[in-house]
Amino acid sequence: MIVVLTTTSTEKEAEKLARKILATRLAACVQILPQMKSLYVWEGTIQTDNENLLVIKTSKDNFTQLREFISENHSYDTPEIVALETAGVSEKYAKWLSDSVI
């Protein structure tokens, strides 16, 4: 199991993207965290924007396809796509996740 993070500029876009990811079974669960303030460097200057964070739970085997899916369906030119390794996942949760994705 891995956790993949991405951000969107609106909650509406976050939910639309999450529903598409789930409909294609590229993930078992997507959590959308409330709006936050992101500060980042873009084209040499510091930017500030409000964003929503998507926390996507999937299998390692799905990462390449999920990464491509997010890239193709995201409004940003360069969306954040960060995969985090997991440890200590309960057996029941891992089985549920495995049974829920392609």
Alpha helix ranges (H) inside 3-62: 11-23
Residue 29 in any domain: the answer is yes
Residue 99 lies in a domain: no
How many other CB atoms are there within 10 angstroms of residue 67's CB atom?
A: 17
Judge whether 100 lies within some domain.
Answer: no
Residue 49 lies in a domain: yes
Task: Report pTM.
Answer: 0.95
The token pair that represents 90 in the structure block: 């309960």
- What does the mean pLDDT of the chain come to? 97
Residue 58 lies in a domain: yes
How many domains does the structure of the chain reveal?
A: 1
In a domain, 76, yes or no: yes
In a domain, 98, yes or no: no
| CATH code for the domain of 79 | 3.30.70.120
Q: Using one digit for the tens of pLDDT, what is the confidence trace for 50-83?
A: 999 999 999 999 999 999 999 999 999 999 999 9
Mean pLDDT of 77-101: 97
Domain that holds residue 72: 2-89
Amino acid at 66: L
